[in-house]
Copies of this chain bind each other. A is one copy, B any other.
Amino acid sequence: MPTRRSTPRPLPPAKKQAARFALQREADRTATAEDYVELIADLLREEGEARAVDVARRMGVSQATVTATVGRLQRDGLVETKPYRGLFLTAEGQTMATAAKARHDLVVRFLIAVGLDAETAEEDAEGLEHHASDKALAAFARFLAEREG
C-alpha cells in the first residue's frame, strides 16, 4: 500500500492569509517589550534590582540599545527608571510581565513534555512564546494537565 501522503493544502483565501501574516507582524512588534518586562521582573525578584547594564548583558545587546528600548517602554507606560538605581515596572508593565512569565514557563514545560530536551526547550521558548495564541496556550495547558495530573 502507498505511504500516506500529506494532504496537499490548497492556498487559503487571500484575505485570510493576509490576516494571518498581519497577526504574525503584530506579535513581532510586541515581542521585545514582553522580553524586556519579563527580564526586568525576573531581575527585580531575584536580584532585588534591575539595572540597565544587567539587562544589556542578559539580552546580549549594547547599553545604548537598552537606553533606547527602555525609552520606548517608558513612552508606552510599561517601565519607569530611577537613574543609577535601576528599572521598575508600572502596573501595566507588571501585568504584562506576569503574563509573559506564565506564558514562557508554560511553553517550556510543554516543549519538555512533548520530548524536547530542557536546554533546547528554553532556547525555543524564547521565540515561540510570542507567537502562541491564547487558544494555543490553553491547548498546551490542557495537554500538560492530562498527562501530568
Q: Are A123 and B28 in contact (CB under 8 A)?
A: no
Q: A12-B122, A23-B123, A126-B24 in contact; A18/B139 too (CB < 8 A)?
A: no
Q: Are B127 and A24 in contact (CB under 8 A)?
A: yes
From B109, B136, B143, give the contact of A124 (CB < 8 A). Answer: B136
**Number of residues in A with C-beta < 8 Å to the partner?**
53
Q: Are B139 and A116 in contact (CB under 8 A)?
A: yes
Measured CB to CB, the closest approach of chain B to A119, in angstroms, equals 8
A66 at the interface (CB under 8 A from B): no
A83 at the interface (CB under 8 A from B): no
Q: Are A9 and B60 in contact (CB under 8 A)?
A: no
Q: A133-B124, A136-B124 in contact; A10/B46 too (CB < 8 A)?
A: yes
Q: Are A18 and B120 in contact (CB under 8 A)?
A: no
In chain A, residues 42-98, which have Cβ atoms closer than 8 Å to a Cβ of chain B?
42-43, 46-47, 54, 57-61
A contact patch SS:
helix
A and B contact pairs by CB, cutoff 8 A, 25 listed: A10-B46, A14-B57, A17-B60, A19-B60, A20-B126, A22-B60, A23-B123, A24-B126, A24-B127, A27-B127, A28-B28, A28-B127, A111-B139, A114-B114, A114-B143, A115-B143, A116-B136, A120-B135, A123-B133, A124-B131, A124-B135, A124-B136, A127-B130, A127-B131, A130-B131
